[in-house]
Amino acid sequence: MKKSVFVLIALLVASFAAFVGCFGSGKPTLHLYCWADYISPELIEAFEKENKCRVVYDTFDSNEALLAKLQAGATGYDLIFPSHYVVSTLSSSGKLMKLDHSKLTILNHLDQEVCNHLPDSKCEYVIPYMMSYTGIGYNKEVIKDFEPSWTMFDRTDLQKRATLLDDKREVIGAALLTLGLDPNTLDPDDLAKAKVVIKKWLANVSKLENEQYKNGIASKEFSLVMGYSGDMVQVVDENPHVAFVIPREGALMSCDVLAIPSTAKNADLAYKFINFIHTPENAAANTEYVFYLCPNKDAYPLLSDEIKNNPAVFIDKAVFAKSRFTIDHGEKEAILNKLWEELKANR
């Protein structure tokens, strides 16, 4: 009697363990570390179905946060989405896996003009994901005499109804562009001039932040915001009182990229995701969702006229000529860090 009970219990335990083991390891998992709301949920679902896997989507809100986490030794991510200008820092510190091009089937779809401007132009460590431009969103009902210029942040009549990004490179770069200077310069005299401009802007803005400006301009809490093109195009699409422009002085451009961390546990699935997301049909669908431009030349013809004709996605050539990609200053980035901290401390 006791023996039979023990045997039955043993069988039940073994069966349960087997079930749990199958349930827990039945599906491979792809861990993404990405900006918020930056991939079409439908595409993620399609990828999961196609590859019989699960996608876990964790978010960060700045490149500094991503860098700090990885440099502190964080592991567990299979694919990350940093901006182009931190790639050299990540690769030189051994945080990125060198890409095996034999596992990438989409290289011929990439817009080579974009690739040529990136620090990793040969895609040794990263694949371009989405282009972004920084510009100005504004309430058309409140600001009747709007000028497509960074000097709008000088306007004292909009005091405390405006926001700037909490991003040293974007704000300092915009001030330098306003002065007709190189937005990537580290020249002390140029930075001193930019400091004067930014002090005026900071006296007018309500806050520095990278996420809630979208809700603020939509809800009419703010009338003028510095924002990223993809975020703002989504806001404009849903709120007729909002408009967005790339200033006539030009803007800082960024390209977020796809990279596989050197500690990735599921690199093969990461390669599959890169190939999947850059299939022209998927790249076009993703652009339609996030309103950023995926630099996939074979996806361009598949885009809607609304996207093709949107100057915040395909920006004006004259403005593009004045704009610049942010560059990585390496250890000299400390110069800009110091300036930015001083500015924020003395608001």
pLDDT bin (cut points 50, 70, 90) of residue 57 is very high
Q: Tell me the mean pLDDT in the region 138-148.
A: 96
pLDDT bin (cut points 50, 70, 90) of residue 151 is very high
| Residues 133 and 315 sit within 8 Å (Cβ to Cβ) | yes
Q: Identify how many contiguous H helices and E strands the chain contains and give both numbers.
A: 14, 10
Q: Tell me the mean pLDDT in the region 259-286.
A: 98
What's the token pair of residue 88? 């050299």
Give the lowest-confidence range in 10-19, 83-92, 131-140, 306-315.
Answer: 10-19
DSSP string, 61-80: S-HHHHHHHHHTT----SEE
What's the CA dihedral at 239, 137, 202, 200 to 10 degrees?
-130
| Residues 291 and 107 sit within 8 Å (Cβ to Cβ) | no
What's the token pair of residue 243? 């408009």
- Tokens 């990405």 correspond to what residue? 34
What CATH topology corresponds to 28-131+254-308? D-Maltodextrin-Binding Protein; domain 2 (3.40.190)
Domain limits, the chain: 28-131+254-308, 132-252+314-345
Give the amino acid at 231. Answer: D
What's the token pair of residue 184? 């990537």
| Residues 254 and 262 sit within 8 Å (Cβ to Cβ) | no
Give, rounded to a whole angstrom, the gap between the first and last alpha carbons of the chain: 81
Say what the pLDDT of residue 21 is. 40
Residue 145 pLDDT > 70, yes or no?
yes
Residue 108 pLDDT > 50, yes or no?
yes
Say what the pLDDT of residue 9 is. 42
What CATH topology corresponds to 132-252+314-345? D-Maltodextrin-Binding Protein; domain 2 (3.40.190)
CA distance 160 to 177: 23
| Residues 83 and 256 sit within 8 Å (Cβ to Cβ) | yes
Query: What is the Cα gyration radius of the chain?
Result: 23
Residue 93 pLDDT > 60, yes or no?
yes
Q: Judge if 28-131+254-308 and 132-252+314-345 fold alike in CATH terms.
A: yes
What's the token pair of residue 153? 């942040």
Residue 5 pLDDT > 50, yes or no?
no
Q: Tell me the mean pLDDT in the region 265-272.
A: 98
pLDDT digits (tens, 9 = 90+) for 282-318: 999 999 999 899 999 999 999 999 999 998 899 898 9
